[in-house]
Amino acid sequence: MRPVFPILGIISMVLVLSGCSRKETPESHEPGEHDSHATQGGVTFNSKQGLSVPPSTAKFIGLQVADVEECSVTVSVRFSARVFQTVSERQFASAAPAVTSIALASAFVNPTQAALLTNGQVAVVSVNNAEPLKGKVAAVNRSLERVQGQAEVMLSIEDAGARLTNGGIVSVSVPLGREQSVVTIPRSALLRTAEGDFVYTVSGKQFVRAALQTGEVSNESVEVTDGLYAGDRIVVQPVMTLWLAELQSIRGGKACADGH
């Protein structure tokens, strides 16, 4: 008997890196003028206008900006699954002489996801950031949707190296074969705080911290669902240094932008 477990998945978009490269350029800005607080490095902060960074400080901290762009993404259904039968277990249980290299896993997904999945769809299975394994959607059982609000998905996974373990969790992506454009930013531009997600936008000669809503986040790119438009200019590095400079201006203390 395989275990029944609820694992919620999400429909997400896998960022296509081709066509998403940005030309990052250094920026030089003069200090602000009114109602500003200054750090020891000459960085000033104005609650209405944002941060101003002198050219010498911008050069010292390696300040770079880039344009926000729209990129082509491949729409995929993504969720987590649990392995319930490994390659070795299947070989032991099989009466056939042929050696199998297929492991089995299952997951529970919401009805919206289930409606996009069909038997035989190709799946990409990721395990511990190692080389992905190939898989397929073996079955989609929607009979439990009315009772549990979820459908069960069965997966067959090619695991010739016997990497999977019984009960192990894997990440599954099922490409749907269509693309669309989304706004993306480099991962280095994203500032995550207890108050939410932000970026520093370029506004004249100042840098203004702006809130945004994010979607899919990878090691290299971030999907932006609200708060930015293609063509906006943002700081791509060093975002944390600007954040510390802003905190120093408001609350006091030493920031990394001081150059000490």
Residue with tokens 């997400």: 12
Residue 250: burial class (beta carbons within 10 Å; 0-12, 13-18, 19+)? exposed
The dihedrals phi and psi of 224, each to the nearest 5 degrees, come to -105, 120
Query: What totals of helices (H) and strands (E) does the chain contain, helices first?
Result: 5, 18
Residue 112: burial class (beta carbons within 10 Å; 0-12, 13-18, 19+)? exposed
**Mean pLDDT throughout 195-216?**
92
Euclidean distance between CA atoms 242 and 52, whole angstroms? 10
Euclidean distance between CA atoms 172 and 83, whole angstroms? 12
The dihedrals phi and psi of 95, each to the nearest 5 degrees, come to -90, -10
The beta-strand segments (E) located in the chain are: 10-15, 25-26, 36-38, 44-46, 50-52, 64-67, 69-85, 102-109, 122-126, 133-141, 151-158, 169-186, 191-193, 196-203, 206-211, 213-217, 221-226, 233-237
**Cα Rg of the chain, angstroms:** 24
The dihedrals phi and psi of 89, each to the nearest 5 degrees, come to -70, -40
Token digits of residue 211:
């809130």
**Mean pLDDT throughout 7-31?**
47
Where is average pLDDT lowest: 39-48, 123-132, 229-238, 250-259? 250-259
Q: What is the pLDDT of residue 228?
A: 92
Beta bridge partners of 153: 107, 140
- Residue 33 above 90 pLDDT? no
CB-based contacts of 139: which residues, under 8 Å, 6+ apart? Answer: 119, 153, 154
Does this model's pTM top 0.85? My answer is no
**Domains of the chain, with CATH numbers?**
22-72+180-258 (2.40.420.20), 73-178 (2.40.30.170)
Give exposure, 28-62, as e/b (b: 16+ Cβ within 10 Å). ebebbeeebbebebbbbbbeebbbbbbeebbeebe
Q: What is the pLDDT of residue 13?
A: 40
Going 137 to 142 to 145 to 147, the CA torsion angle's sign is negative
Q: What is the pLDDT of residue 206?
A: 92
Token digits of residue 21:
């490269």
Res. 16 pLDDT band, cuts 50 70 90:
very low
Q: What is the pLDDT of residues 131-165, one digit of tens each?
A: 999 999 999 999 988 888 999 999 999 999 889 99
More confident residue, 167 or 256: 167
Instruction: Identify whether the C-beta of residue 111 lies closer than 8 Å to the C-beta of residue 49.
Output: no
Q: What is the DSSP letter of 97?
A: S
Q: What is the pLDDT of residues 84-143, one digit of tens each?
A: 999 888 776 655 545 579 999 999 999 999 999 999 999 999 988 789 999 999 999 999
**Mean pLDDT throughout 190-204?**
93
| Per-chain mean pLDDT for the chain | 81
Instruction: Identify whether the C-beta of residue 119 lies closer than 8 Å to the C-beta of residue 104.
Output: no
Q: What is the pLDDT of residue 34?
A: 42
Where is average pLDDT lowest: 11-25, 36-50, 58-72? 11-25
